[in-house]
Structure 1
């Protein structure tokens, strides 16, 4: 049976902080292990700065219904990789196939990261995401595979798994690809509470009702036959193409045709988003040519013929 005894060195070489958990080189499940990709999970445990890895013991020792180890590494709240195993682990179950990952035994096919957050009302921290991107890129490089071999458990699962929650997996793969090619893609996020970067009129209320929100709260307003836009300001570093993504909490009572306005190099472009569905994660509006400079770049308009609150939460730009 193959092992990945090189894992710790590869992670450290990528600048990832590593803690080795006991006899990781010999802790593994019986069976074949010949990985061709990396699979992301969330643990469903609530982590925090003071309790950064609540699921570590379970990931090492397993549960009554599933013996450990349950992953090759756990990623704690601070982005530290706790390396648990160099061999086969019970993390993936049966793969239904996704992208270049074929159907079959997921535990044979994939190296697994368990990212320690609950995935219901808690998203992964920036430290967890950034460390996981760096680690995934380094491991795929070592395996001789490209970024398409990074998958989320919800993509390969045959039993309806939802992990990892609150991330766009296509964006994750783009970020891994950029890292693998030595890219340092510029990216910036503006939330409705980002000082000096968000403006909205007095008709926009503040709410923390939905657990799918980005940050502490979000803004909402009734639709009207007038723009009254909430604007997000970005300091775009260079004239280039940028991926525009939005985050909003979804609710059946929210607006089905919310207008997002992108101020591009050739004029404003409007994209309509159904905010009744697809919330609690980054959702792409498309890739647009944007000019350099510090200016209002993306807006949420109230001018919608549909009923239900229009929501303004967070916007992310990434150079591509």
Structure 2
């Protein structure tokens, strides 16, 4: 069983890796825990926001929208590479995913194809949203790609390797995020940082 880090430990882990971190509102207590448990956690899930504009993106991820209340992740990474903490606890980011993928993440093995939506991903993953339209054409600035590695400190604190970091598209059929870089390249960057 892997309990989630405390909010303070999560913040400390991020700051130890050197990014600029912004604490947004009551992020430590802003969550969807009334909808179910958060934990045990087994990995980090990466998304893109399908938005433009940092302030608008952070606000959307913090508050959500009529069909999906916030927080929509734990951290929003804007195109300048800044990490905005918007929630902590259960967040509406992963939705239902594939239990075979979750088992592979737990075992830190190669991921199988996702073909089911039978597991509560919001319970088992920390989530980072990256500000990007997700059209596959919009550039990912170098600062933001470097910030994709910011999942590494969470892995380091839990004793996980790079296989504990997945994209939404690897866990839920029909999802395409993140689009614009590969999860294989991301895991390689995280592996290098963890060394």
Q: Same fold (TM over 0.5)?
A: yes
- Distance in structure 2 (CA, Å) of the matches to 1:90 and 1:14: 26
- Distance in structure 1 (CA, Å) of the matches to 2:162 and 2:55: 27
Bigger radius of gyration = 1
- Aligned to 2:28, which of 22, 25, 31? 25
* Secondary structure of residue in 1 paired with 2:54: coil
Instruction: Give per-residue Cα distances to partners, 1:42-79, cap 9 Å, x unaligned.
Output: 00012xxxx43431111111111111100001001100
* Secondary structure of residue in 2 paired with 1:86: coil
**Inter-CA distance 147–79: structure 2 relative to 1 (3 Å threshold):** same
- Aligned to 2:191, which of 161, 172, 177? 177
**Inter-CA distance 2–39: structure 2 relative to 1 (3 Å threshold):** closer
- Aligned to 1:101, which of 98, 105, 111? 105
* TM-score of the pair, normalised by structure 2: 0.84
* Secondary structure of residue in 2 paired with 1:142: helix
* Secondary structure of residue in 2 paired with 1:91: coil
- Distance in structure 2 (CA, Å) of the matches to 1:132 and 1:165: 13
The one of the two structures with greater contact order (alpha-carbon pairs below 8 A, sep at least 6) is: 2
The answer as to 2:158 corresponding to 1:143 is: yes
* Secondary structure of residue in 1 paired with 2:47: strand
Q: Which residue of 2 aligns with 1:43?
A: 49
The answer as to 2:170 corresponding to 1:166 is: no
Q: Which residue of 1 aligns with 2:64?
A: 62
Q: Which residue of 1 aligns with 2:74?
A: 72
Q: Which residue of 2 aligns with 1:131?
A: 147
**Inter-CA distance 53–76: structure 2 relative to 1 (3 Å threshold):** farther
**Conserved? CA contact 1:53–1:77, under 8 Å:** no
Structure with a larger share of its residues in strand: 1
Q: Which residue of 2 aligns with 1:264?
A: none
Unaligned runs of 5+ in 2: 107-117
Structure with a larger share of its residues in helix: 2
Instruction: Give per-residue Cα distances to partners, 1:11-37, cap 9 Å, x unaligned.
Output: 111101100001111100022112211
* TM-score of the pair, normalised by structure 1: 0.52
Number of equivalenced pairs: 175
* Secondary structure of residue in 2 paired with 1:57: helix
Post-superposition offset of 1:3:
5.6
**Inter-CA distance 162–115: structure 2 relative to 1 (3 Å threshold):** same
* Secondary structure of residue in 2 paired with 1:107: helix
- Distance in structure 2 (CA, Å) of the matches to 1:42 and 1:149: 18
